[in-house]
Amino acid sequence: MRVIGIDLSGPRNHKDTVLTIFKQEGNHLQLVKWVNNLSDQDILKEVFEQSQLDELVIGIDAPLSYEDGGGDRKSDRELRKFIVSLGMRAGSIMPPTLNRMVYLTLRGIKLSREIENLKAAYPISLVEVHPGAIIGSRLSRQNIEYVLAYKKEQSARSFIRNLLTEQGLTQLPIEIEAESHSIDACAAALGAWHWKDPSYNEKWIYPACPPQHPYDYCC
């Protein structure tokens, strides 16, 4: 199995779009590639190439649907309740049609539908993920402050890189701690792996409700 984690940014912000590729080795995921500054075509090229090698699982950190009429999806409300129960901030879950989110949502929907075109020929699974919730749900209560701080503090990212290693992600270079987008891309891969591999369980899941919401949403 190959697992791709994508921290997607808006259509004009290629610089902060980060993609990680992992190869499953027993009960671990080994990092084989880590890239940023990606256009949609760059991402699709990586997806296509990896799909030639093995079964491919993709976790995308971006809304892959929106609610008709705007505002929260039911999945957003449920995930917000879940992260608040962990001690995280409700504001990290934003409606897909919020002004600051809408272009990211547009890119996520477009990219997921383009990946759908590849799924007809290759074994590809796709899930929407929330990296902050993936991290927070795997931290002990006394360490929850690290997920609250990792966007701004390198020391928190260092702690989380170690957490990801403990969770089975190997070969993570220390440079991944330099900014949060790379941490998020690794966490996206972790969430997608636990969602797909029957040996593991996601910490929270909202099942797909097609056709409006065609993908599972998990952490």
Number of domains in the chain: 1
In three-state secondary structure terms, 7 is strand
Domain with 91, as residue range(s), is: 2-218
Tens digits of per-residue pLDDT, 19-63? 999 999 999 999 999 999 999 999 999 999 999 999 999 999 999
User: What's the pLDDT tens digit per position in 134-165?
Assistant: 999 999 999 999 999 999 999 999 999 999 99
Mean pLDDT value across the chain? 96
Residue among 179, 153, 192 at smallest CA distance from 37: 179
Residues 6+ apart with CB under 8 A from 182: 7, 18, 20, 34, 36, 175, 176
Res. 121: pLDDT tops 90: no
What is the pTM for the complete model shown? 0.96
